[in-house]
Amino acid sequence: DTAVSQTPKYLVTQMGNDKSIKCEQNLGHDTMYWYKQDSKKFLKIMFSYNNKELIINETVPNRFSPKSPDKAHLNLHINSLELGDSAVYFCASSPQGTSGNTIYFGEGSWLTVV
Amino acid sequence: DAKTTQPTSMDCAEGRAANLPCNHSTISGNEYVYWYRQIHSQGPQYIIHGLKNNETNEMASLIITEDRKSSTLILPHATLRDTAVYYCIAHFVFGPGTRLSVLP
């Protein structure tokens, strides 16, 4: 059973398109995250939701919009894709809050914008 | 948010202990230190965490200094499969990590 699953695993799309990456966790966790790992391999947090409420929103273009229909899901919508959006996007979850809790990561979604 | 600093890369001979240091001098009193690793571009994998006391689990040991300004992750018998990027984090912010290469 996959704890944190994200789809699609691979996505190749053209500039200007709008795409979504879905994430689901079956761990019963209250907090979910989206991280971006670019070509330099730095893992940067983008968003964090706790019980469907946005609690962390780092400096991310407003073309990126997270949506949490329930606490087990956190989807990432990206509008007007740009070449620089090419990266691996990791979804993650933790039991509660953002301190003192282990973060469990999904396997990543590889986005390539051409 | 506490920031951590780690060496960019380290080598270790297979079968020997790998000791990975981390400085976290700005960590607050109630912040845990977490260690993760990332093999190739898989999702980061949790290894161990601690607050004040040293910790050990089936994967590794974590030694935290008394002043909590630094810690060391110890892989007691490194194998080739331990080659990965190791991240020491406090709170949820990842730094560039240490690329550990286990050599045959």
Which tens digit of pLDDT belongs to each residue from A25-38? Answer: 999 999 999 999 98
Cβ within 8 Å of A, B 45-74: 45-46, 49
CA–CA distances in Å: residue B104 to residues A14, A77, B39, B80:
43, 44, 17, 7
Residue A36 CB neighbour total at 10 angstroms:
20
| Interchain CB distance below 8 Å, A37 and B32 | no
Is B34 part of the contact surface with chain A (CB cutoff 8 Å)? yes
pLDDT value at residue B2: 55
In chain B, the percentage of residues whose pLDDT exceeds 90 is 75
Of B73, B21, B12, B15, nearest in space to B48 by CA: B73
| Interchain CB distance below 8 Å, A43 and B34 | no
Q: Identify all chain A residues contacting B46, using CB atoms and an 8 Å cutoff.
A: 102-104
Q: How far apart are CA B21 and CA B57, in angstroms?
A: 18
Unique residue bearing structure tokens 């080598």? B11
| Interchain CB distance below 8 Å, A45 and B92 | yes
| Interchain CB distance below 8 Å, A103 and B31 | no
Mutation for testing the A interface, residue in B92, B94, B99 having most A CBs under 10 Å: B92
**Per-position b or e across B12-27, b if 16+ CB within 10 A of its CB:** beeeeebebebbbeeb
Mutation for testing the B interface, residue in A45, A56, A99 having most B CBs under 10 Å: A99
Of A114, A100, A95, A92, nearest in space to A37 by CA: A92
Whether residue A56 has pLDDT greater than 80: no
Q: What is the DSSP letter of B6?
A: -
| Interchain CB distance below 8 Å, B30 and A108 | no
Q: How far apart are CA A44 and CA A99, in angstroms?
A: 16
Whether residue B92 has pLDDT greater than 90: no
Pairwise pLDDT comparison (A38 vs A22), residue with the higher score: A22
